[in-house]
């Protein structure tokens, strides 16, 4: 009985007022995360998500075992890498004639689709190269090309422009999709838009990763779109203002099967991996070398080893196909949890045994972190 009386919480008026002001201030700052440009704890949340990815560790991508018992990923990246640039003895951009050979060599492997994360908005320098590339794209019949909405900002103006491939290439392609990426306040890429609204014409344009999924699942692009979700056949993809949270599966360069571009052109890839290596798969063509400056920091490895844009899109496609979506708490939910945890900590702090109350407060914080991490790892919610 004496012990219970000693444990009875006491709350001095001054401490109570200070504690409540602190709790509600922190909750208010959390709510400010909904207002751009105002201070919030967003950076802490983003870094916590990065930590949760690394705590969870790598996951196996969508794929299947071949006849030899080797696991092959559904998505294959044909890499414009340092090795290919060295072996071809050609600086980037490569002649269009060479790119036509690359497209034709991939198409010979009968993939489900071929997507090129390459901008071809300007004419090539080799005579007849553009026409030859257009013919290779048309003959393949399943090539998706990239465009983008480019945002131009000056001292007294801001506008956006839709940059498309050359008309003959655009006409030959199956689809044209946006290559725009998302960047958080710390420069990391954790989200990607599945569609964007172009201000000039108020039209919605899908990303090339979205078109790649449409083609692989044999579904038509949806007629209606919502900022909060995109219906792709039977799959409902959760979005935040048109952006999908990317479920990264591991470190750059090790998750998906890759083949150097030059080995595809000279046929080595078929000799080494079999004639059916590309058959029925999603083939993505893009730069993976750091020298072409198309790499971005992501939760795994961060700035130490940035991930190529083409590989980020591969993770987006796999996120949709596997339906392993990452769900972020809303601002309101985050504020509510902050308020509840703060009030619990205050209630415990009133215990008149300092060491016990401090231990319980710290334990509450640790328990919250553990539950948050388990929620992210098991339920993909954070």
Q: Are residues 41 and 75 in the same domain?
A: no
Residues 187-194 have a mean pLDDT of 96
pLDDT at 303: 82
Q: What's the domain range around 362?
A: 2-53+329-379
Q: Are residues 114 and 34 in the same domain?
A: no
Residues 277-283 have a mean pLDDT of 98
- What's the mean per-residue pLDDT of the chain? 84
* DSSP track, 65-89: E-TTS-EEESEEEEEE-HHHHHHHT
User: Which residues, in sequence order, are CB contacts of 346 under 8 Å at separation 6+?
Assistant: 16, 19, 20, 23
Q: Can you tell me the distance from the alpha carbon of 332 to that of 82, in angstroms, rounded to the nearest whole number?
A: 47
Q: Can you tell me the distance from the alpha carbon of 222 to that of 124, in angstroms, rounded to the nearest whole number?
A: 34
53 vs 368, residue with greater confidence: 53
Q: Can you tell me the distance from the alpha carbon of 278 to that of 75, in angstroms, rounded to the nearest whole number?
A: 9
User: Does residue 368 register a pLDDT over 70?
Assistant: no
Residues 359-372 have a mean pLDDT of 60
pLDDT at 122: 95
pLDDT at 9: 56
State which of 322, 341, 363 marks the end of a domain: 322
Residues 262-279 have a mean pLDDT of 96
Q: Are residues 71 and 180 in the same domain?
A: yes
Q: Quick check: 187 and 295 in contact, CB under 8 A?
A: no
Q: Are residues 241 and 367 in the same domain?
A: no
pLDDT at 97: 97
Q: Are residues 276 and 340 in the same domain?
A: no
Residues 177-182 have a mean pLDDT of 96
State which of 322, 347, 369 marks the end of a domain: 322
User: Does residue 195 register a pLDDT over 70?
Assistant: yes
Alpha-carbon radius of gyration of the chain: 26
Pick the closest to residue 149 from 231, 212, 204 (CA basis).
Answer: 204
Q: Are residues 34 and 79 in the same domain?
A: no
User: Does residue 236 register a pLDDT over 80?
Assistant: yes
Q: What does the buried/exposed string (b/e) look like for 173-194 if buried means 16 or more CB atoms within 10 Å of the residue's CB?
A: bbbbbbbbbbeeeeebbbbbbb
User: Does residue 208 register a pLDDT over 60?
Assistant: yes
pLDDT at 344: 63
- Pairing outcome for strands 295-298 and 143-153: unpaired
Q: Can you tell me the distance from the alpha carbon of 114 to that of 141, in angstroms, rounded to the nearest whole number?
A: 9
- The answer to which of 106-120, 286-300, 333-347 has the lowest mean pLDDT is 333-347
pTM value? 0.83
**pLDDT tier, 381 (very low <50, low <70, confident <90, very high otherwise):** low
User: Does residue 203 register a pLDDT over 50?
Assistant: yes
State which of 306, 322, 338 marks the end of a domain: 322
pLDDT at 372: 56
pLDDT at 160: 86
Q: Are residues 120 and 251 in the same domain?
A: yes
Q: Are residues 307 and 365 in the same domain?
A: no
**pLDDT tier, 8 (very low <50, low <70, confident <90, very high otherwise):** low
- The answer to which of 66-70, 114-118, 313-317, 362-366 has the lowest mean pLDDT is 362-366
Question: CA separation (Å) from 161 to 40, 145, 285?
Answer: 32, 17, 24
Residues 94-104 have a mean pLDDT of 97
Q: Can you tell me the distance from the alpha carbon of 310 to that of 211, in angstroms, rounded to the nearest whole number?
A: 14
Q: Are residues 159 and 32 in the same domain?
A: no
pLDDT at 200: 86
Q: Can you tell me the distance from the alpha carbon of 225 to that of 366, in angstroms, rounded to the nearest whole number?
A: 41
User: Which residues, in sequence order, are CB contacts of 79 under 8 Å at separation 6+?
Assistant: 258, 259, 260, 261, 286, 287, 288
- The answer to which of 44-53, 172-181, 199-208 has the lowest mean pLDDT is 44-53
pLDDT at 260: 98
Q: Can you tell me the distance from the alpha carbon of 333 to that of 217, in angstroms, rounded to the nearest whole number?
A: 34
**pLDDT tier, 156 (very low <50, low <70, confident <90, very high otherwise):** confident
63 vs 223, residue with greater confidence: 63
pLDDT at 330: 54
Q: Are residues 219 and 272 in the same domain?
A: yes
Q: Are residues 284 and 358 in the same domain?
A: no
Residues 153-167 have a mean pLDDT of 87
Q: Are residues 83 and 109 in the same domain?
A: yes
pLDDT at 382: 47
Pick the closest to residue 322 from 362, 363, 282 (CA basis).
Answer: 282
Q: Tokens 């072996």 appear where? A: 87
- What is the domain count for the chain? 2
């Amino acid at each position: 009985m004496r012990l219970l009386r000693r444990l009875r919480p006491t709350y001095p008026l001054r401490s109570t007022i200070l504690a409540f002001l602190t709790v509600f201030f922190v909750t208010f700052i959390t709510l400010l995360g909904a207002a751009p440009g105002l201070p919030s704890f967003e950076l802490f949340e983003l870094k916590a998500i990065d930590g949760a990815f690394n705590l969870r560790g790598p996951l196996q991508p969508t794929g299947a075992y071949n006849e030899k018992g080797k696991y092959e990923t559904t998505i294959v990246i044909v890499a414009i890498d340092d090795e290919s640039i060295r072996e071809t003895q050609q600086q980037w951009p490569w002649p269009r004639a060479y790119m036509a050979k690359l497209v034709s060599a991939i198409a010979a492997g009968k993939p489900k689709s071929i997507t090129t994360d390459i901008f071809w908005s300007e004419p090539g320098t080799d005579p007849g190269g553009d026409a030859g590339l257009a013919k290779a794209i048309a003959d393949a019949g399943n090539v998706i090309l990239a465009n983008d909405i480019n945002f131009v900002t000056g001292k007294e103006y801001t506008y956006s422009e839709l940059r498309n491939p050359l008309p003959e290439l655009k006409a030959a392609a199956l689809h044209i999709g946006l290559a725009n990426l998302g960047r958080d306040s710390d420069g990391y890429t954790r989200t990607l838009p599945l569609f964007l609204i172009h201000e000039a014409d108020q039209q919605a344009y899908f990303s090339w990763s979205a078109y790649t999924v449409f083609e692989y699942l044999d579904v038509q692009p949806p007629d209606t779109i919502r900022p909060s979700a995109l219906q792709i056949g039977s799959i409902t993809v959760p979005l935040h203002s048109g952006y999908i949270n990317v479920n990264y599966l591991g470190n750059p360069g090790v998750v998906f099967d890759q083949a150097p571009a030059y080995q595809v052109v000279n046929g080595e890839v078929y000799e080494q991996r079999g004639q059916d290596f590309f058959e029925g798969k999603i083939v993505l063509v893009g730069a993976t070398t750091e020298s072409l400056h198309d790499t971005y920091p992501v939760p795994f490895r961060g700035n130490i080893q940035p991930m190529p844009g083409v590989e980020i899109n591969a993770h987006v496609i796999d996120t949709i196909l596997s339906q392993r979506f990452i769900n972020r708490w809303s601002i309101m939910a985050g504020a509510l949890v902050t308020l509840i945890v703060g009030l619990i900590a205050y209630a415990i702090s009133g215990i008149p045994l300092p060491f016990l109350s401090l231990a319980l407060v710290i334990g509450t914080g640790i328990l919250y972190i553990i539950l948050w991490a388990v929620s992210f790892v098991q339920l993909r919610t954070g």
